[in-house]
Copies of this chain bind each other. A is one copy, B any other.
């Protein structure tokens, strides 16, 4: 019997990268960047495949490049044909005529360096988890309630596209203004935090001045990736009145290495129970909540030296969000603001109802009052220099197949104090 997940490539059934997932990434094995898809424990090189004549429908220049933007600009018909062709080439039960040529396009994933997958025009970050919004507010003020607007719209804000980086980076601890004992001081952040989110990658330009109706949202959504919205809570807290977070967020945001296209999410999408009781422009009967579990692990420098395994500090699921992807697209364009290919919408921290589903440390440690105990004997209210943080994403389909969104890793580096010695 034909199993669309099965591939002739090794590891298809254990890696989270079966033949019907095929997430896109930008890869480099030393000879310049190219677009690859993950299959089993390998990367399939689309530039090489196009040059070998295996991908007749796609412009070779669109896959021999350092971002997915040009590929996304090929448009839905060509992208659909490409996906069908890749599945044909890589599935176990497909025609084997081009298999030898296809095999020459494979590289071990371990031998490939992955780059930030898209060139981001605008980055909008939402705040779509009620659990996150409430728990993080209450970490600071126990009786806090969400303002009424939160339940009327997916609240969000613009953040810094130029600060978006990819997997495996060092995050320099940011310095900034904080209020300490009633005084403004400038110092390295002592409340460095992560936020586990899902990134929604935009694949079409919308017309400036014309909102995207919610029924057309999927035309603009290429796929999803992991996203880590690094946050400095002390900087954020002092600066945010009245214009919202700025430098507490803009020092770095990480985008995951693999972008899983929307068709691959079939079987892992769910209706949104709240989508029937909002204003018409946000109302829909589609399935735009995604069953994506994100596990976050932490390993201190001491743990790594001692050979201790990373500890899991969060296990959350994007299906628990209150506002979904279609609503975010409809809302962000509802005033006529344009979307452009490569724009990224972040869902906001995807925390669930349980404390262990807290997708940032502000929530997990109740604002630092309940630090985590690490196996090296130290405690963590917020991140320390040398800490290695990793997000691991898994899409859970109804048929039991689990797809990987890959890992998104970073190490916290010390603050840059060179300039602050000078007055």
What is the interface of chain A, defined by CB distance below 8 A to chain B?
121-122, 124, 127, 147-150, 152-153, 155-163, 165, 172, 174-177, 179, 184-186, 208-211, 213, 232, 235, 238-248, 250-252, 279-281, 283, 331-332, 334-340, 343, 413, 416, 419-420, 422-423
Contact = CB atoms under 8 A, between A and B. Distances in A.
Nearest to A159: B158
B177 A152 contact: yes
A335 B157 contact: no
A121 B156 CA distance: 20
Contacts of A213: 419, 422
22 contacts: A149-B177, A149-B184, A152-B238, A153-B177, A155-B241, A157-B244, A163-B208, A172-B336, A175-B211, A185-B279, A209-B251, A209-B413, A213-B419, A232-B335, A235-B335, A240-B244, A244-B245, A247-B331, A250-B335, A250-B337, A251-B336, A283-B423
Nearest to A338: B162
Contacts of A122: 160-162
Contacts of A279: 177, 184-186
A337 B243 contact: no
Contacts of A157: 157-158, 243-244, 246
A334 B176 contact: yes
A122 B162 CA distance: 7
Contacts of A416: 209-211, 336
B336 A241 contact: no
A175 B209 contact: no
Nearest to A153: B177
A157 B419 CA distance: 24
Q: Which 7 A-B pairs have the closest CB atoms?
A: A244-B244, A172-B209, A174-B335, A152-B184, A157-B243, A243-B244, A147-B241
State the majority secondary structure of interface residues on A: loop
A360 to B, nearest CB: 15
A240 B252 CA distance: 23
Contacts of A150: 241
Given A161-B122, A239-B153, A239-B155, A176 B339 contact: no
Contacts of A413: 209
Contacts of A121: 161-162
A184 B247 CA distance: 31
Contact of A242 (B147, B159, B161): B147
Given A186-B334, A279-B177, A162 B340 contact: yes
Contacts of A246: 124, 155-158
Contacts of A159: 158
A233 to B, nearest CB: 13
